């Protein structure tokens, strides 16, 4: 598995991420092609820089004739009509819409009337599309990131002087491990935060990996500490984790609530809502509550960026009055999917590896059900047939 690790001791911004991607092997010509495909009047320069003696690349996007501010629909229309490949364009549209949602929440105006102010320049569009295109070009299957330095003190925005992190950045921090560094300033920008939330699969220290390249992006300023963001690129390695020789660990969040007064018919509805909204696992565990009442402990395993939405579902769809939130680490096997033929029909097989060893093989149950219905055989016989076919792989 090809892995990227983002080291963010000086926060993150779109231009720093672009510099790190180019430094890690994404050609500068590809970045210039992004600008051409967007069809926007900007100039992009990539130059060598140093931040406290650390060599890095400084990427600057300059708009030839900048407008004072733009409405979100104007940037969305440029993106919708450009020549960027659909997968990157659609993902970029999601990031742009998220930035507009944040501004809408902060200022209390409809999304289609949001003035993006500091985010309304074409440089924001180039940053978002460029970073997503660079990650795709480097074929990074998974991205892990360090805790992020958001900065400290005060920053001047369109509406005046506000504390760091600024309101738009603050609204994008859900589930992100952050801290305030020693140097004053705004080190995490809204664009940087939105891109991290989109790209990062898990947070923590540098995972075991066989290193290939390290790209370093330089921030605009040169404070007392090196203002750089580093991207480590390589192949994920098993066997060095403190949790054994599994491929990697993942930081997740467990939401938990105790319920003793809810109609049992509602549990399947709540479970379906949670899964649709991004929950990784939902379990209702029977328990004896206070006063001896029978009830359930509802446990929901979620990615950090889905905590707020899933907590709202629990509060709205169940009878609970509160939800407990706890950080978790999940040990994961390296997984792959194969397909075998049973009774002339395909059945997917999930394969789990612990280092070099295959330790789990399981047919996809839904596929077995479909084949059983088509053939008139029992689900159990299809399941056994799929396992037997998997042995031949």
CA 350 to chain centre: 24
pLDDT of residue 144: 92
* C-beta separation of 281 from 253 below 8 A: no
pLDDT at residue number 73: 85
Residue 241 has pLDDT above 60, yes or no: no
The residue ranges of every structural domain in the chain are: 2-236, 248-332, 334-391
Superfamily of domain 248-332: Transcriptional regulatory protein pf0864 domain like (3.30.70.1380)
- Asked if 348 contacts 242 with a C-beta cutoff of 8 angstroms, the reply is no
Secondary-structure class of domain 334-391 per CATH: alpha beta
pLDDT per residue over 37-77, tens digit each?
A: 999 888 999 999 999 889 999 999 988 776 656 788 888 89
Could you report the per-residue pLDDT of 251-308, keeping only the tens digit for each? 789 999 999 999 999 999 999 999 999 999 999 999 998 888 899 999 999 988 789 8
Q: Which of 386, 384, 305, 299 shows the shortest CA–CA distance to 340? A: 386
pLDDT tens digits, 80-96? 889 898 889 999 998 99
Average pLDDT over residues 180-192: 87
Which candidate, 331, 329, 362, 364, places its Cα nearest to that of 346? 364
Q: Are 248-332 and 334-391 the same fold in CATH?
A: no
> Could you tell me which of 189, 194, 177 has the C-alpha nearest to residue 253?
177
Share of the chain above pLDDT 90, in %: 56
Looking at every residue in the chain, the average pLDDT score rounds to: 87
Q: What is the pLDDT of residues 309-367, one digit of tens each?
A: 999 999 999 999 999 999 887 877 888 888 999 988 999 999 888 877 888 899 999 99
Binned at pLDDT 50, 70 and 90, residue 245 comes out as very low
CA distances 50 to 47, 57, 145, 170, Å, are 10, 8, 23, 29
pLDDT at 168: 80
Q: What is the DSSP letter of 374?
A: H
């Amino acid at each position: 598995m090809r892995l990227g690790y983002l080291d963010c001791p000086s926060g993150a911004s779109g231009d720093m991420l672009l510099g790190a991607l180019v430094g890690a092997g994404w050609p500068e010509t590809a970045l210039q092609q992004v600008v051409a495909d967007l069809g926007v009047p900007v100039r992009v320069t990539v130059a060598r820089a140093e931040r406290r003696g650390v060599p890095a690349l400084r990427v600057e996007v300059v708009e030839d004739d900048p407008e004072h501010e733009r409405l979100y629909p104007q940037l969305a229309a440029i993106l919708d009509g450009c020549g960027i490949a659909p997968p990157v364009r659609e993902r970029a549209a999601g990031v742009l819409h998220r930035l507009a949602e944040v501004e809408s929440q902060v200022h209390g105006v409809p999304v289609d009337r949001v003035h993006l102010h500091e985010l309304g320049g074409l440089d924001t569009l180039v940053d978002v599309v460029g970073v997503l295109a660079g990650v795709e070009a480097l074929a990074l299957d998974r991205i892990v990131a360090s805790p992020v330095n958001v900065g400290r003190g005060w920053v001047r925005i369109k509406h005046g002087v506000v504390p760091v992190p600024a309101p738009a950045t603050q609204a994008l921090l859900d589930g992100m491990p952050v801290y305030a560094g020693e140097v004053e300033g705004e080190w995490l920008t809204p664009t940087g935060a939105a891109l991290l939330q989109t790209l990062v699969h898990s947070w923590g220290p540098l995972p075991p990996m066989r290193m290939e390249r390290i790209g370093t992006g330089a921030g605009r300023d040169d404070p007392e500490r090196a203002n750089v963001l580093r991207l480590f690129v390589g192949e994920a390695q098993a066997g060095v984790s403190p949790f054994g020789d599994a491929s990697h660990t993942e930081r997740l969040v467990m939401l938990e609530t105790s319920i003793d007064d809810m109609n049992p018919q509602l549990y399947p509805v709540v479970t379906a809502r949670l899964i649709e909204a991004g929950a990784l696992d939902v379990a209702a565990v029977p328990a004896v509550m206070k006063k001896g009442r029978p009830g359930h402990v509802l446990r929901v395993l979620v990615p950090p960026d889905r905590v707020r939405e899933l907590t709202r579902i629990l509060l709205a769809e169940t009878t609970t009055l509160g939800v407990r939130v706890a950080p978790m680490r999940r040990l994961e096997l390296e997984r792959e999917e194969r397909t075998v033929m049973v009774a002339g029909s395909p059945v997917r097989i999930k394969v789990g590896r612990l280092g070099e060893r295959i330790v789990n093989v399981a047919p996809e149950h839904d596929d077995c059900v479909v084949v059983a219905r088509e053939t008139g055989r029992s689900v159990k016989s299809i399941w056994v047939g799929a396992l037997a076919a998997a042995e031949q792989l």
